[in-house]
Structure 1
């Protein structure tokens, strides 16, 4: 799933490609992906792209006062085309294409989604805040307003909720998903099952520092990369997420996994849980 660093890099890459170009056509190949009807999708045609930015994990293409907002969900991605096919895509195609944006020079981008479980969403709105998911976002972990005191209040308000779930909740902190929450907790040497409100001031500071460094370093590494390079860069740098059975790069212990109905987490017992394996609570609802 694309998270804050990848979406930030996509926004930067697309900003350089799209800014000051006119959108000539927008095609929908998966009608379930389009979540709005007013303004209509065709209102984007003839607009000039002013900027491309990010809100949490939402990508925002600002075009003459309208906003094409895209949430890539679990398996969505952006593919740049130097030359877009002249024939419009067929609706319901098995190619995974959801949306195509064509520019005035014949280039454009394809918004795709792999797999059968569809969650990708596209919105055409007058303000980004008109998208419910953006309106309810928590603070950006790299923003100036995200301070250690803000994090302490978030943890206190979360009560006994597990810290892994708190990090992933977009209404609490924007942009951190399953992969980077694993990486943050590994860097902080903290159990994913630790109750949020049980943290001392020192532990809160440690977690805050891990969030800023892990997410900030990932953004720095991704900056300037083309969309086609981002997935590989992310996977090559993960210490524990997706590394089940491999040695921890810090201590050498075996990375372990806890599986749930629709996701899993990875952690290092030595670094994070005092050497004790966590129970594999497959039916837990706490980390959704």
Structure 2
């Protein structure tokens, strides 16, 4: 799933390519992906693009006329730039193509989604706050006003909630998903199950890990072609997706916990005092 660093890089790349360009049309291919009907997608035709930004993990393409095309790429969505007019018509079907934006010279981008579970969402709105997921977003963790004091208030409000869930909750902190929450907790040397309410030393360490992990990932992703962003992310992950590999810090074998629809990875040596966390799925398989 694209998270804050990858969405940031996509927004920067699209902004450089699209700012000042005129939209010829937005073609919706996977109709369930479109979550709005007013304004209609046809209203984007002829609009000039004012810029592309992000809100958490949402991409926001704004026009001079005050319209916004908002995209949430979900788990398997992506944006693929086309330098020329498409060869295919983009007719509805079972393929990965969800939507196609065409500029006045034929170039543009395709929005695709792999797999059979379709969660990608597109919105055409007059105000990004009309998108429910944006309206309930928590603060951006790389914003200037996301201070240590504010972070401590957030953690205190979450009480006994587990850190892994807190970091992934978009209404608490925007933009962090499964992968970067694993990375942040590894850098902070904290268990995914540690309660959010903690002392000043721990909260300062977690804040530093959060800010540096995301800032470093943004710096690496900046300027990377969209086609290479997924590989760039994967190659730089320390623990996420590294089950059974040695920890790059202490050499302990990286372990994982499996939930119904996702897994997370951690290092017992760095994060849990050498203890392996209970994995209900694997525990049942080993009985």
TM-score normalised by the shorter chain: which range applies? over 0.9
What does residue 16 of structure 2 align with? 16
Aligned CA-pair RMSD:
1.1
- TM-score, normalised on structure 2? 0.96
Decide whether aligned partners of structure 1 residues 138 and 269 sit closer, same or farther in structure 2, where only a CA change above 3 A counts. Answer: same
- Residue 168 (str. 1) matches residue 168 (str. 2): yes
Decide whether aligned partners of structure 1 residues 25 and 54 sit closer, same or farther in structure 2, where only a CA change above 3 A counts. Answer: same
Instruction: Report matched runs for 1:80-119 at 5 Å.
Output: 80-85=81-86, 88-91=89-92, 93-119=93-119
Following superposition, which runs of at least 4 residues in structure 1 exceed 3 angstroms of deviation?
Answer: none
- Give the Cα separation in 1 of the matches to 2:110 and 2:246: 38
- Residue 45 (str. 1) matches residue 45 (str. 2): yes
Deviations 1:44-90 (A, max 9, x none): 01100110000000000001210000000000000111113265311
- Residue 217 (str. 1) matches residue 221 (str. 2): no
Q: How many residues align?
A: 281
Question: Could you tell me whether the CA contact under 8 Å between 1:56 and 1:174 is conserved in 2?
Answer: yes
Deviations 1:203-260 (A, max 9, x none): 0000000000000000000001110010010000000000000010011110000000
Question: Could you tell me whether the CA contact under 8 Å between 1:70 and 1:122 is conserved in 2?
Answer: yes
- Give the Cα separation in 1 of the matches to 2:162 and 2:265: 15
Decide whether aligned partners of structure 1 residues 158 and 36 sit closer, same or farther in structure 2, where only a CA change above 3 A counts. Answer: same
Deviations 1:99-149 (A, max 9, x none): 100011111100000011111000000011111111110000000121111
- Give the Cα separation in 2 of the matches to 1:26 and 1:191: 45
- Give the Cα separation in 2 of the matches to 1:86 and 1:115: 23
Question: Which segments of 5 or more consecutive residues in structure 2 lack a partner in the other structure?
Answer: 283-287
- Give the Cα separation in 2 of the matches to 1:94 and 1:231: 23
Instruction: Report matched runs for 1:195-214 at 5 Å.
Output: 195-197=195-197, 199-214=198-213
What does residue 231 of structure 2 align with? 232
- Give the Cα separation in 2 of the matches to 1:88 and 1:147: 49
Question: Could you tell me whether the CA contact under 8 Å between 1:27 and 1:88 is conserved in 2?
Answer: no
- Give the Cα separation in 1 of the matches to 2:55 and 2:226: 18
- Residue 263 (str. 1) matches residue 229 (str. 2): no
What does residue 63 of structure 1 align with? 63
What does residue 285 of structure 2 align with? none
